[in-house]
Amino acid sequence: MGGLLGLGLGVQATPAEQVYTLGTITVSAPTPALGALDSGQVASVLTSETLRRFDRDTLGEALDLLSGVSITTNSRNEQTLDVRGFDARQVPIFIDGIPVSVPYDGYLDLGRFTTTDLSAIQVAKGFSAMAYGANTLGGAINLVSRRPERALEGDLSIGLAADHTRTGTLNLGTNQGQWYLQFGASWRDSDGFPLSDDFQPTATEDGGRRDNSDQRDAHLSLKLGWTPRGDDEYAISYYRQHATKGQPPSTDARSARYWRWPYWDKEGVYVLSRTALGEHERLRLRLYLDDYDNAVDAYTDASYTTRKTAGRGSLGPSGRSIYDDRVFGGSITLESTRLDHHQLQLALHHKHERHHADDTIERTEAFEDALDSIALEDSITLGPRLRLALGLAHHRMRPLRVDKVSDPVALPEAQSATDAQAGLFWSLDPAGDDLLYATVARKSRFPTLKDRYSLRLDTAIPNPDLRTEHALNYELGYRGSPRPGLELEAALFASSITDLIQRVDDVEPDRYQMQNVGEVQVFGLELGAEADLGARWQLGAHLTLIDRDNRSDPDRRLTGVPSHKLTAHARFIPAERWETLLYLRHEGARWSSDSERLDAFTTLDLKLAVHPASAVTLAAGVRNLADSDYAPSDGYPAAGRTWFVEANYRF
């Protein structure tokens, strides 16, 4: 299997692109090759080859290739996502199986995470491995880092794009038998992005280059590994991200914020190991320490010269808010194949989350939580082509500290949740290229620190007693290759979500509160196909249909998710060293609020690439070729027509 089923699902890696097996998450004990997912798990996989072909340099751009995933923009103008109606807090992101979401609110700005040093992205929807730990209400996304296979390998790229955007990446790796070293660095500097010529100016945006949309990003990764014998492997990784960015104000003057981020940084150290304990058992260990530091400055107007130090929406007496957040923890997993026809995993997790904030004059808040999990999974072989995957997990969240200067809050009680899931997988052919599956998963999510304690810029009432959200996820699907050169996928899915945390207005005059009042039903369909038409043409398409019903409050709209999404691409190879790629994306209408409905939109991208030598690629392209004027989130229009050129050398 390959190509569009996940735009890379099942594609076997080249020697330079082997998946870092310490970083993979599976339901069953054997470690699968890249994309050759074991029948105990079904997930979409984006390979590094796919990311390069479609020029998806950031995590948000990459995930937008997938069915069931929609990328939106929040009020901080950050890229965030929905997966089958679940938001980024409910579908957490991992790097090599290690959680990386910001501890305070559970979100990440997907535009800050680059893909240049990844070997693959795994996306599990609804039914996901218990080995991820807590809070996988709607699934999990795992970023798998590179692992070198040869004595010397790497790639170098440089690029230019509209509005003085400059990019550069470098990846170097060496494998010396019993040890390996992988280095990655990327850099992006942009003055902003242009709006469509059809954009209608407003009081807070005059068109042309989007106001305050500049950004600068630098990313560094380093991994050292030791493979002393057999399947044993030990690795330590270091990650460093630094960003400065503007935040374009909403085009609606009533909700415009004039903010800038002088820094948005992440730094982490990860230790991973895999050790054989005899013939039948294997021990995996993951330890991690992540620091998240950022600052935001609020200004009175679009001149960005005078800080806003008072009034509703201010960030404190200095006009600056500083976050100093830290996450540390680890997991230990014992895998066993001692029992015939069983592949067992027992996993223990501990995670400590700390959030500190100040306004440069005084410490305004400090919160800490501890999360513990125990999970058991069993992949049972029922026959030559039939497998049953079972999972059970128990999670506990213990609030450890709540300090607030403005409005003191008592330390809430601990909460616990139990998750369970089952999946039946039937291979229709001996090779396993055709798979039928049915899964059911009961998952949970604890409320974040922000959910419980935030004043939301003095517009909300904290609710430290928020309870855990729960979801029951069902899926029935098929993925296969009924004949050479043709790949198909289909999935029917449904979710029943209870105790959903939703905003309740006017709890006090002009103040709202987050409460467990939501009951939502989700139904959807995903279809995908890809076909090779001779040696020169490849065509593919994905369709997602989704319907969400707010059972608890039918008059309140469920926002942010389009009613349908269609993507299609055509790849044409006119000559041996030439390639063209046409990519179409259409998203249906979506509600931005109870009264604001955003129109459907369609974009078209075109790319031309030439390979003057086997190791060299030169490419040029245009994104949003028709210069469509659209906004995936109300008040935050997307870029109009833009161009890019790039050069890549691989060795």
**Domains in the chain: ranges and CATH:** 15-650 (2.40.170.20)
CA atoms of 5 and 487, how far apart (whole Å): 7
Instruction: For residue 166, give the 3-state DSSP assignment.
Output: strand
CA atoms of 406 and 631, how far apart (whole Å): 36
CA atoms of 28 and 377, how far apart (whole Å): 8
Q: How many other β-carbons are positioned within 10 Å of the β-carbon of residue 228?
A: 10
As given in the structure block, the two tokens for residue 234 are: 């030990």
As given in the structure block, the two tokens for residue 347 are: 């996993």
Q: Are 134 and 395 in contact (CB under 8 A)?
A: yes
Beta bridge partners of 515: 502
Beta strand 179-190 pairing with 460-461:
unpaired
CA atoms of 83 and 124, how far apart (whole Å): 10
CA atoms of 449 and 400, how far apart (whole Å): 11
If residue 423 lies in a helix (H) or strand (E), which one and from where to where? strand 415-427
DSSP H helices, 99-163, are: none
Mean pLDDT by 10 residues, the chain (651 residues): 37 41 50 40 86 94 95 86 95 93 90 92 93 95 93 97 96 97 97 97 97 96 95 95 96 94 97 95 96 96 94 86 96 96 96 94 89 97 94 98 88 97 92 89 97 90 96 96 93 98 91 94 97 94 97 90 97 95 97 90 98 96 98 94 98 94
Q: Would you mind telling me the total number of residues written for the chain in this entry?
A: 651
Whether the pTM exceeds 0.75: the reply is yes
Q: Which of 373, 387, 419, 375 minimizes the C-alpha distance to 30?
A: 387
Q: Which of 129, 10, 109, 22 minimizes the C-alpha distance to 58?
A: 109
CA atoms of 106 and 126, how far apart (whole Å): 18
Cβ-proximal residues to 185 (8 Å cutoff; 6+ apart), any chain: 169, 170, 171, 218, 219, 220, 221
Q: Are 474 and 524 in contact (CB under 8 A)?
A: no
Q: Are 328 and 368 in contact (CB under 8 A)?
A: no
Torsional sign, CA 492, 472, 90, 634: positive
pLDDT digits (tens, 9 = 90+) for 303-331: 999 999 988 778 888 999 999 999 999 99
Would you state the pLDDT for residue 36?
33
Would you state the pLDDT for residue 43?
83
Name the DSSP class of 636. Answer: B
Q: Are 403 and 366 in contact (CB under 8 A)?
A: yes
Instruction: Report the Cα 142 to chain-centroid distance in Å.
Output: 8
